[in-house]
Amino acid sequence: DTEVTQTPKHLVMGMTNKKSLKCEQHMGHRAMYWYKQKAKKPPELMFVYSYEKLSINESVPSRFSPECPNSSLLNLHLHALQPEDSALYLCASSQPQSLSGSSYEQYFGPGTRLTVT
Amino acid sequence: AQTVTQSQPEMSVQEAETVTLSCTYDTSESDYYLFWYKQPPSRQMILVIRQEAYKQQNATENRFSVNFQKAAKSFSLKISDSQLGDAAMYFCAYRSEGGRDDKIIFGKGTRLHILP
C-alpha cells in the first residue's frame, strides 16, 4: 500500500474559523510532511515530523499548527487564516534520513484545496 | 546549500514522439538521491523515477528513463512514445543521503503539453 490519504478534499473557511486538515499513511513511514503549493509552483515545505517529533518548522506563521498524534496520522490545525493562505495543502510521507538503507522518496497525498474567504 | 534548476518552464511534444526534460543541480555532497515527480492538472503528485547517485546505471521505468551525469550534475528525463496522459507538471528533486534533515529540494517545474 503506497497510499497517503488526505481529508477533506476541499475546504472553504472564513478568516475567523478554526478547521483541521488530516493526513494518514500506512506504509510504516516515520517521517511526515506538510507542504503548501500555489498554482504552477513547486511545493513549499512547511513542517516535518520525524518519529512523531517536529523536526523542521520553516518559519510558518502560528496560525498554522501541526500535530502528529501517532506514526500514521498528521494533522494541520488552521486558525485565523488570511486570504493569501488559499492554496493546495499537500501531505507526504517517507522514511526518515536517520534510517539507513532506505531510498527516502516521498509519497504524496492528493491534497486539500483550501480557500480562505 | 543544494539547488535544483529546471530551465524549461514549458515544453510541448507531439503524441508518440520523444521528449527530454532538463534538470541540473548543485551540491557538494557525494551521496544523494534524485527524483522526477509528475503532477497532472488537479491530480496527485506521483513519483516517476528515482536515481541513486552511487549507481552509474541510468534508471528506467517503462517509457521513462533518465540521463544521469554526476560530474556535470545533470539529471534529465526522457519520455518515449509520449501519451496524452503524460501531460503534467514535472518536478526534478534532490535529497541528501545521510544528511542532517529530511528535506527534498524541488526545482521550479516544467509543464509538459502533449499535442494530439
How far apart CA A36 and CA A80 sit, in angstroms, is 17
Residue B98 has pLDDT above 80, yes or no: no
Give the residue from A86, A2, A74, A111 showing the smallest Cα distance to B45: A111
pLDDT value of position A101: 65
How far is Cα B37 from Cα B4, in angstroms, rounded to an integer? Answer: 13
DSSP chain A: ---EEEE-SEEEE-TT-EEEEEEEE-S---EEEEEEE-TTS--EEEEEEETTEEEEE-S--TTEEEEEEETTEEEEEEES--GGG-EEEEEEEE--TTSTT-----EE---EEEEE-
Tell me which residue of A12, A33, A31 sits closest to A91, measured CA to CA.
A33
B3-59 confidence digits (pLDDT tens)? 999 999 999 999 999 999 999 999 998 889 999 999 998 889 999 999 999 998 999
Chain A nearest CA to B15, separation (Å): 23
Size of interface A-B (CB pairs under 8 A): 59
Share of chain B above pLDDT 70, in %: 97
Residue B52, chain A, CB below 8 Å: the answer is yes
According to the model, what pLDDT value does residue B82 have? 98
Q: Do A48 and B43 touch (CB under 8 A)?
A: no
pLDDT, tens digit only, all 117 positions of chain A = 568 999 999 999 998 889 999 999 999 999 999 999 999 999 999 999 999 999 989 999 999 999 999 999 999 999 999 999 999 999 999 988 776 666 678 999 999 999 999
